[in-house]
């Protein structure tokens, strides 16, 4: 019989020496370590939110919250469709870590701040909070974004809005499965996508019939929704067909009398990322719903929701980039190879600086866009520009996030590929913002439509792009060439991505020339606008001051 006492060889006590591993990055303030975000918050009118951002930044970087993020993604939600006796319960069971993170986000107003505190800079402060929260855990930010975005859409129906808005603005997270009227706070999701079409919502086949016996504006819905995230929300903005055409509805999860609505969860999606957050397929079967807006006005009614979730998608993608870059910078500062710290080796410096530039450009653009939402609140004439800017920003940042996440992962070597680090989660998360709230092509075609219908949007964008004229020769040449091509390019659907990419790069460069240190703006323009930079990250041209760029990026 083998002895149970381990031999010296078994324990390997003398060889198992841990050295040259970077420490876990935790118990740091995600806001205070980010000078780019701090500057943008102040510049774009959100200085009054700095203390809020500091508080949330401390929580998000804490070991406790980062552990919750790991737990919520490892112990993913489970569908409990029936109880043990066979009765439908349509319940989703989440790990306690999910509820902890939801409470954290709601307490800090990530879902509602601009509506609770409607003042200049409110969207900028909210964007900063969402940027921070997304660096802790992305899944919970999906219900935050949808609840935030539901408010302007619901306002199409003043009676419903007066009833629901106070619940949506509450800073209490209340996960109980009871009527919303009895809860301390409520959240709203959306159910637009069907099997036969997500981008093309006019292909929706879910039917809505009037049910006046159930109350004013009440309908009954029958059909199937192919994607419905955060299915334990209290209500869902839903599109369905009436005699008058595609119409928007609010579907409560629990009816006012306390009985469950017929909101039948068929299964949960087994997703690549965003795994802490449940996304369900839902059957509507004679399901109770209130109409929001007029019959046939469904798209017009729900567009404000889509517009606001696009802002959040851009912020989320920028946050994924930021957190990936922070992890790369942290690792490179602690790891040595071939006798020197990675962060001190010229080629790694080039990679890290290129990553930092991409992240800074994304954050700067997202925060400028958030100010656009504040500007448009004060002056509706700004709305066409903000619509265009939102689509450009959403397309571009979401396209860059997976590229940045993959390169940052490589900076950690093999450790970056292992689930002990946050990199696999960030990498899996990176593509989703490009898919939901308008996939890339759909966004680019939207942009062409905006250019055709709202020439003032383009005129305002051109003004914005001229704001840094004379600040960088590469930028001047790039913008002049773009302006020359704009009219013809705006007519060519097949070239829409090329046009949007040029608009996005011009805008990012313009913002950096105006607001970032010269060495950042110069390196960005030289590498992105002049054809000198390569197709991979880490190909900044020789003159770039990589050390100074990375020093600026991270106060670790």
Ligand X SMILES: Cc1cc2nc3c(=O)[nH]c(=O)nc-3n(C[C@H](O)[C@H](O)[C@H](O)COP(=O)(O)OP(=O)(O)OC[C@H]3O[C@@H](n4cnc5c(N)ncnc54)[C@H](O)[C@@H]3O)c2cc1C
Q: Contacts with ligand X in 343-362 (CB under 6 A)? A: none
Q: How far is the CB of 496 from ligand X (least distance, A)?
A: 9
46-54, 152-160, 198-206, 467-475 -> range binding ligand X (CB under 6 A): 198-206
Q: Is 168 in the site for ligand X (CB under 6 A)?
A: no
Q: How far is the CB of 178 from ligand X (least distance, A)?
A: 22
Q: What is the DSSP letter of 403?
A: H
Q: How far is the CB of 402 from ligand X (least distance, A)?
A: 14
Q: How far is the CB of 123 from ligand X (least distance, A)?
A: 22
> 305 vs 529, which CB is nearer to ligand X?
305
Q: How many Å apart are CA 52 and CA 131, to the nearest integer?
A: 13
Q: Is 206 in the site for ligand X (CB under 6 A)?
A: no
Query: Nearest-CB residue to ligand X?
Result: 198
Q: Name the pairing type of β-strands 188-191 and 88-93.
A: unpaired
Query: How far from the centroid of its chain's Cα atoms is residue 489's Cα?
Result: 29
Exposed e or buried b per residue across 318-356, where buried means at least 16 C-beta atoms within 10 angstroms of its C-beta: bbbbbbbbbbbbbbbbebeeeeeebbebeebbbbbbbbb
Residue 264 three-state SS: strand
Q: Is 199 in the site for ligand X (CB under 6 A)?
A: yes
Q: How far is the CB of 492 from ligand X (least distance, A)?
A: 13
Please calculate the CA angle 362-363-369 and round it to the nearest 5 degrees.
90
> 38 vs 227, which CB is nearer to ligand X?
227
> 233 vs 527, which CB is nearer to ligand X?
233
Q: How many Å apart are CA 506 and CA 508, to the nearest integer?
A: 6
> Which residue of 72, 97, 191, 357 would you call a contact of ligand X, by CB under 6 A?
191
> Which residue of 144, 151, 192, 302 would you call a contact of ligand X, by CB under 6 A?
192
Q: Is 228 in the site for ligand X (CB under 6 A)?
A: yes
Where helices occur in 2-112 by DSSP H, the ranges are 8-11, 35-43, 50-60, 63-74, 96-107
> 296 vs 440, which CB is nearer to ligand X?
440
User: Concatenated DSSP letters for 327-353?
Assistant: HHHHHHHH-EETTEEGGGSHHHHHHHH
Q: Among all chains, which residue has been given the structure tokens 């900063």?
A: 128
Per the DSSP assignment, residues forming a β-bridge with 220 are: 209, 288
4 C-beta neighbours (distance < 10 Å), count: 5
41 C-beta neighbours (distance < 10 Å), count: 27
Q: How far is the CB of 279 from ligand X (least distance, A)?
A: 4
Q: How many Å apart are CA 86 and CA 64, to the nearest integer?
A: 38
12-20, 88-96, 187-195, 326-334 -> range binding ligand X (CB under 6 A): 187-195
Q: Among all chains, which residue has been given the structure tokens 């935050």?
A: 144
> 121 vs 431, which CB is nearer to ligand X?
431
Q: How many Å apart are CA 173 and CA 499, to the nearest integer?
A: 43
> 147 vs 279, which CB is nearer to ligand X?
279
Q: Is 217 in the site for ligand X (CB under 6 A)?
A: no
Q: Is 76 in the site for ligand X (CB under 6 A)?
A: no
Structure tokens at 382: 């700004």
Cβ burial, residue 110 (10 Å; 0-12/13-18/19+)? buried
11-19, 226-234, 361-369, 376-384 -> range binding ligand X (CB under 6 A): 226-234
Q: Contacts with ligand X in 258-297 (CB under 6 A)? A: 271, 274, 279
Q: Is 396 in the site for ligand X (CB under 6 A)?
A: no
> 189 vs 372, which CB is nearer to ligand X?
189
User: What are the angstrom distances between the C-alpha of 253 and each of 83, 218, 223, 371?
Assistant: 18, 15, 16, 34
Query: How far from the centroid of its chain's Cα atoms is residue 389's Cα?
Result: 16
242-250, 331-339, 393-401, 437-445 -> range binding ligand X (CB under 6 A): 437-445
Q: How far is the CB of 389 from ligand X (least distance, A)?
A: 20
Q: Is 197 in the site for ligand X (CB under 6 A)?
A: yes
> 228 vs 504, which CB is nearer to ligand X?
228
> Which residue of 49, 57, 143, 198 would you call a contact of ligand X, by CB under 6 A?
198
Q: How far is the CB of 297 from ligand X (least distance, A)?
A: 18
Structure tokens at 94: 């989440």
Q: What is the DSSP letter of 111?
A: T
Size of the site for ligand X (CB under 6 A): 23
CA-nearest of 240, 290, 239, 302 to 261 is: 290
> 46 vs 434, which CB is nearer to ligand X?
434
Residues found in the chain: 556
> Which residue of 227, 249, 284, 554 would you call a contact of ligand X, by CB under 6 A?
227
Q: Is 441 in the site for ligand X (CB under 6 A)?
A: yes
73-81, 193-201, 240-248, 336-344 -> range binding ligand X (CB under 6 A): 193-201
Q: How many Å apart are CA 297 and CA 401, to the nearest integer?
A: 34
Q: Is 193 in the site for ligand X (CB under 6 A)?
A: yes
Exposed e or buried b per residue across 142-170, where buried means at least 16 C-beta atoms within 10 angstroms of its C-beta: bbbbbbbbbbbbbbbbeebbeebbebbbb
> Which residue of 22, 81, 439, 495 would you call a contact of ligand X, by CB under 6 A?
439
> 110 vs 357, which CB is nearer to ligand X?
110
Q: Contacts with ligand X in 417-436 (CB under 6 A)? A: 432, 435-436
Q: Is 401 in the site for ligand X (CB under 6 A)?
A: no
Residues that bind ligand X (CB under 6 A): 189-193, 197-200, 227-229, 271, 274, 279, 432, 435-436, 439-442, 445
């Amino acid at each position: 019989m083998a002895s149970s006492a381990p031999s010296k060889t078994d324990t390997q006590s003398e060889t198992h020496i841990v050295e040259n591993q970077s420490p876990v990055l935790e118990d740091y303030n995600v806001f205070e370590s980010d000078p780019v975000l701090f500057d943008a918050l102040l510049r774009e009118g959100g200085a009054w939110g700095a203390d809020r951002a500091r508080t949330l930044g401390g929580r998000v970087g804490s070991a406790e919250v980062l552990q919750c993020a790991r737990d919520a993604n490892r112990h993913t939600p489970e569908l409990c469709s029936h109880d043990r006796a066979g009765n439908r319960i349509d319940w989703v069971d989440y790990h306690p870590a999910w509820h902890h993170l939801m409470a954290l986000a709601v307490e800090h107003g990530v879902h509602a701040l601009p509506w609770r505190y409607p003042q200049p800079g409110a969207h900028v402060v909210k964007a900063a909070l969402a940027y921070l929260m997304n660096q802790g855990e992305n899944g919970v930010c999906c219900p935050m974004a949808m609840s935030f975005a539901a408010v302007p859409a619901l306002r199409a129906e003043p009676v419903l809005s007066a009833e629901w808005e106070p619940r949506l603005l509450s800073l209490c997270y209340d996960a109980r499965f009871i009527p919303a009227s009895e809860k301390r706070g409520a959240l709203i999701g959306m159910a637009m996508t069907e099997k036969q079409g997500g981008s093309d919502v006019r292909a929706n086949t879910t039917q809505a019939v009037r049910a006046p016996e159930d109350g004013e504006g009440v309908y009954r819905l029958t059909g199937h929704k192919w994607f419905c995230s955060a299915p334990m929300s209290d209500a869902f903005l839903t599109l369905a067909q009436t005699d008058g055409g595609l119409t928007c509805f609010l579907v409560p999860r629990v009816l006012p009398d306390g009985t469950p609505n017929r909101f039948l969860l068929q299964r949960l999606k087994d997703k690549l990322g965003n795994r802490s957050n449940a996304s369900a397929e839902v059957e509507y079967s004679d399901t109770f719903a209130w109409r929001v807006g007029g019959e046939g006005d469904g798209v017009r009614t729900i567009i404000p929701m889509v517009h606001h979730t696009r802002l959040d998608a851009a912020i989320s993608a920028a946050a994924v980039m930021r957190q990936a870059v922070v992890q790369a910078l942290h690792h490179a500062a602690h790891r040595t190879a071939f006798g020197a710290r990675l962060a001190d080796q010229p080629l790694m410096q080039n990679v890290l600086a290129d990553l930092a530039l991409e992240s800074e450009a994304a954050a700067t653009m997202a925060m400028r866009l958030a100010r656009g939402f504040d500007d448009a609140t004060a002056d509706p004439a700004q709305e066409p520009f903000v619509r265009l800017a939102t689509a450009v920003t959403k397309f571009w940042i979401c396209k860059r996030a997976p590229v940045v996440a993959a390169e940052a992962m490589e900076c950690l070597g093999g450790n970056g590929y292992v689930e002990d680090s946050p990199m696999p989660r960030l990498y899996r998360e990176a593509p989703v913002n490009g898919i939901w709230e308008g996939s890339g092509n759909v966004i680019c075609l939207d942009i062409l439509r905006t250019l055709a219908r709202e020439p003032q949007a383009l005129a305002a964008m051109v003004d914005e792009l001229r704001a840094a004229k004379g600040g960088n020769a590469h930028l001047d040449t790039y913008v002049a060439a773009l302006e020359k091509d704009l009219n013809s390019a705006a007519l060519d659907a097949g070239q829409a991505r090329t046009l949007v990419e040029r608009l996005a790069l011009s805008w990012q460069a313009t913002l950096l020339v105006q607001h970032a240190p010269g060495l950042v703006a110069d390196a960005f323009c030289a590498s992105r606008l002049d054809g000198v930079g390569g197709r991979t990250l880490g190909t900044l041209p020789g003159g770039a001051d990589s050390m100074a760029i990375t020093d600026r990026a991270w106060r670790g």
